A and B are shown apart, each in its own frame.
Chain A
Amino acid sequence: MNIRQAAESLRARRVSSVELTTAALARIDRQNAALKAFITVTPEQAIQQARQADSDLARGQDRGPLHGIPVAVKDLFMTRGVRTTAGSKIYENFVPDVNAAVVDKLLSAGAVMLGKLNMHEMAYGITSSNPHFGAVANPWSAAHIPGGSSGGSGAAVAVGMVYAAMGSDTGGSIRIPASFCGVVGLKPTYGRVSRYGALPLGYSLDHMGPLTRTVRDAAVVLNAIAGYDRRDATSSRRPLVDFIPGDGVSIRGLRIGVPKNFFFERLDPDVESSVRGALARAESLGATVKPVTVPDIAALNTVARLVLLAEASAVAEPFLDRRDQFGADVLALFDQGRLIPATDYVNAQRLRRKMRHEFNRLWTDVDCLITPTTPNTAPRIGAATVHLAGRDEDVRLATTRLVRGVNALGLPAISMPCGMSGGLSGGPSTALNEPSLPIGLQIIGPAFEEALILRVAAALEDSGVGILPGTVLIDS
């Protein structure tokens, strides 16, 4: 059941929020030991909120489509009275006295908060193999990573522990777990959703957004969390629109750009065929698919990495004398960032603005871009490299290759499932001894055009692009 269906059932009195919440808590109870998706579960608070939601609905007080719906947030969003660890030893006992802006907005919209989701330590990595709170497992294969850093969010949504989860994305951390877990992940435009109360990784790169089971569910959550917030200096005053695509939405006449360079290089063959299959579907729906040359994304990734190294180390500086409290991978990144000269950071930000201007010229030729989200499906837990096009590539660099640059540009992007390795129906994988795993495609749009990329994603989803209903490995 998705948010829309649950909301209809609630209003038709076929189910109550308490029943939805109790079922979700039971699922967490049953599956969290294996999945390690949650760090903290708040059942008493959740049941209390669900009772309130039921009582409000009974009195005709309807707060909209999230009213009474069980959700959870990545454990870097501050929650009043509930510890917020950022998946770290450093914040292990940090109990905030305020809510993050998105938490307040979700609660105002009537959502029921089930707890705090596991993540890569400090949001600084893509495996979610957390050394302090356990390695999050991929719901399709427990031997594989769920992606990260919002790995708990992706896993929890995929198995139905929650209807929606909040994640953060600094170099792909919403879109990567969405791709690896077979769910939808939306990174809105920088400034569209307040960062207030989210423990930062890279100030100028951090984006907050939802992971959900369907495209329209992501739009429902965006409707609830978007908007100006004076507590976030980068928050946008752009007027809001209704982001939810209508039924039977059309993409006829839309110009969809397909990069000729970079984005389709060194891909797992299953990834390429699934994404190209979705592009053919878009064309059959009346969109014009136009090959385009995109600016130098490798250079953009270099700039984004340098900016992140410097910003993340600046944030963590006060804690870096506690070296034994960090995982080795995260500590190595913090150490690297401390050796970046200030001049390089400033020059990277100068290059970033220049590249953004170059990239924005694309939007005169096309309305959006479609690319793979990740060049590969989920790697095995503990893998240091992935093998692509005949060569081994560092697992972090490969996994972030197609998504990181979009953070530097601040553009909205969505990842949606477009198939499984081994075929759209989830048959045996082409890779020997590998299970069939989800594949994600990415839609990138101009700044503040979330409604457009959601429309394209919804049209594809409506036309059957996605994962056929099946069973995830871990009992669901």
Chain B
Amino acid sequence: MKDWRAIAKAHGLDLSARDLDRIAPPLEALEEAFRPLVGDLTPGDEPAVEFSVEEDAFSAEEDAQ
């Protein structure tokens, strides 16, 4: 189990004990569901969101017109 209080502190977030108690259970549940999925990834699996130079270049061309 992750120490969410320590993680919040490391992030520089000043969350009250009450707020931390409120967010720790859903984060823990998400962590449990998410961590095993990461093991299925291979280096060739690229993210769904990436920077597109081509698109930006096209917009610049349009701006110039």
Interface residues of A (CB under 8 A from B): 204, 230, 233, 298-299, 302-303, 305-306, 309, 328, 331-332, 335-336, 338-339, 344, 346-354, 356
Q: With both chains docked as a complex, state the minimum distance between the C-beta of A53 and any C-beta of chain B, in angstroms.
A: 32
Q: Are A339 and B23 in contact (CB under 8 A)?
A: yes
Q: Are A349 and B48 in contact (CB under 8 A)?
A: yes
For this complex, 29 residue pairs linking A to B, each with C-beta atoms less than 8 Å apart, are A230-B59, A230-B62, A233-B52, A298-B33, A299-B37, A302-B33, A303-B34, A303-B37, A306-B30, A309-B30, A331-B19, A332-B23, A335-B13, A335-B22, A338-B11, A339-B4, A339-B7, A339-B8, A347-B38, A347-B41, A349-B47, A349-B48, A350-B46, A351-B37, A351-B38, A351-B40, A351-B41, A353-B45, A353-B46
Q: How far is the CA of A218 from the CA of B22 in the complex (A)?
A: 39
Q: With both chains docked as a complex, state the minimum distance between the C-beta of A467 and any C-beta of chain B, in angstroms.
A: 35
Contacts of A344 in B (CB 8 A): 34, 38
Q: Are B48 and A204 in contact (CB under 8 A)?
A: yes
Which residue on chain A has the smallest CB distance to residue B63?
Answer: A230
Contacts of B30 in A (CB 8 A): 302, 305-306, 309, 336
Q: With both chains docked as a complex, state the minimum distance between the C-beta of B45 and any C-beta of chain A, in angstroms.
A: 4
Q: How far is the CA of A202 from the CA of B26 in the complex (A)?
A: 19
Contacts of B19 in A (CB 8 A): 331-332, 335
Q: With both chains docked as a complex, state the minimum distance between the C-beta of B26 and any C-beta of chain A, in angstroms.
A: 6
Q: Are B33 and A299 in contact (CB under 8 A)?
A: yes
Contacts of B48 in A (CB 8 A): 204, 349-350, 352-353, 356
Which secondary structure dominates where chain B touches chain A? helix
20 additional A-B pairs beyond A309-B30, A336-B26, A350-B41, beta carbons within 8 Å, are A230-B59, A230-B62, A233-B52, A233-B56, A302-B30, A302-B33, A305-B30, A306-B30, A332-B22, A332-B23, A335-B13, A336-B23, A336-B30, A338-B13, A339-B13, A347-B38, A349-B48, A351-B37, A351-B38, A353-B45
In B6-26, which residues have CB < 8 Å from any A CB?
Answer: 7-8, 11, 13, 15, 19, 22-23, 26
Q: How far is the CA of A353 from the CA of B41 in the complex (A)?
A: 11
Contacts of B37 in A (CB 8 A): 299, 302-303, 351
Which secondary structure dominates where chain A touches chain B? helix
Contacts of B57 in A (CB 8 A): none
Q: With both chains docked as a complex, state the minimum distance between the C-beta of B3 and any C-beta of chain A, in angstroms.
A: 11
Which residue on chain B has the smallest CB distance to residue A237?
Answer: B58
Which residue on chain A has the smallest CB distance to residue B45?
Answer: A350
Contacts of A348 in B (CB 8 A): 34
Q: How far is the CA of A346 from the CA of B38 in the complex (A)?
A: 10
Q: How far is the CA of A270 from the CA of B14 in the complex (A)?
A: 46
Partner of A339, one of B27, B33, B38: B27
Partner of B45, one of A233, A302, A338, A354: A354
Q: With both chains docked as a complex, state the minimum distance between the C-beta of B32 and any C-beta of chain A, in angstroms.
A: 9
Most A CB within 10 A of own CB, among B4, B7, B26, B40: B26
Q: How far is the CA of A305 from the CA of B48 in the complex (A)?
A: 15
Most B CB within 10 A of own CB, among A233, A328, A339: A339
Contacts of B1 in A (CB 8 A): none
Q: How far is the CA of A356 from the CA of B46 in the complex (A)?
A: 12
Q: With both chains docked as a complex, state the minimum distance between the C-beta of A398 and any C-beta of chain B, in angstroms.
A: 14
Q: How far is the CA of A346 from the CA of B8 in the complex (A)?
A: 20
Contacts of A346 in B (CB 8 A): 47
Q: How far is the CA of A92 from the CA of B8 in the complex (A)?
A: 29
Q: Are B47 and A350 in contact (CB under 8 A)?
A: yes
Contacts of A204 in B (CB 8 A): 48-49
Contacts of B45 in A (CB 8 A): 350-351, 353-354
Q: Are A306 and B11 in contact (CB under 8 A)?
A: no
Q: With both chains docked as a complex, state the minimum distance between the C-beta of A55 and any C-beta of chain B, in angstroms.
A: 35
Which residue on chain B has the smallest CB distance to residue A396?
Answer: B26
Q: How far is the CA of A328 from the CA of B38 in the complex (A)?
A: 31
Closest 8 CB pairs of A and B: A349-B47, A353-B48, A302-B33, A352-B48, A350-B45, A349-B48, A336-B23, A350-B47
